[in-house]
Structure 1
Amino acid sequence: MFNIIFASIIHRFRWKIRYWYYVGYNKEIKHNGYSTIETSLRDSIFKYDLYLAYEEDVNAFVLDTLKPKLLELDYTVFMHDDILDGLPLYNIITRSIHASRVVVFVLSNGPRDSLEWKIAAHMTNEESNHRQKPMSVAFFYNSDSTVGLPEELKMLRRDAFIDYPVNGSEQEITAFWEDFITKLNTIY
């Protein structure tokens, strides 16, 4: 009986346990100019301005349009393509989200069932709870549906969603970037 109760509690809080394991117990020491996660949060110095979470169907858009524009605007960006093969996925994603100011979820009509997507959604929710403030923006690219989103993303504030004008004019795209930068700066 005790085992069943214990297993249900572990299952209920599995994402919190993972979060605290990867953030709390995987401490780094200061070495070659890098500081620990705790030091970076205490001094409000983040390694990344943005963490980009996206599915493979928008990979071309993210690499050709979104990332270059964000780099042009002097944002430091971390994305799935920056993860080296062979490294523990939970550890890398958790640390990257923990060391980022804002997490941007690029939503499309494609499936949202990859492991990276699920980890990013849950760990963003845990990090947001830890910081006691919102830290994510949902970026709709050729999509208007929240179907298939993890529950944590469905609970985003209404003003945390933004639509990219896929077939928009130059003025619409310029207005979009201004609005997107404003949303990012309100989260900072």
Structure 2
Amino acid sequence: MARFTPPAADAMRARLLLAARDEFAAVGLAAGKVERIGVAASSNKAQVFHYFGSKEGLFDALVADSVTETFAEVPLATDDLPAWAGRLHDSFVRRPWAQRLATWHRLERADVPLESVATSFADAVAEVEHAQRAGVLPRAFRPAVLLGLVLHTAAFWTATDAEYEPLVHAVTPPRRRQVVVDAVTALLGG
């Protein structure tokens, strides 16, 4: 079967997003340089403005894509929230830039809500609420609070401060994953 080759515009947009991912994850939006992104994408800064309108537009598109990619890679499983948290943890470990981009967004663009991200979260909260109403999940926490606790628990190890890391350094990667699963199990009263 022939391999699909995206049109040149799609390929250029993808290269810009990949280069922007590395740049913005490392230094954030304010310190990120469109010129470096253009060079890393084998392009130029004019292409960033052509495809995304601005540096901020590129950053916002990248954050939105990162959240969409996370939920696509790890679809919410309300029937086994602890296992889902473990898979989400695995995704964050494989894709460290996802947490870094989310942090930069909270720091530098918190006043700019991203509609697609808000929709993803609202859909996930609705799924949790539905599972609570069906008796699949406990109602000890409101749906949005429960989802937030699970998301943050799954991200714990990849969002740990450098100063805190030595205190938990001895916890091996497989054990870290198990801690996430156990913590969410305990959160659900199991």
Same fold per TM (> 0.5)? Answer: no
Return the structure number with greater helix share: 2
Provide TM-score, normalisation by structure 2. Answer: 0.30
Larger radius of gyration between Structure 1 and Structure 2? 2
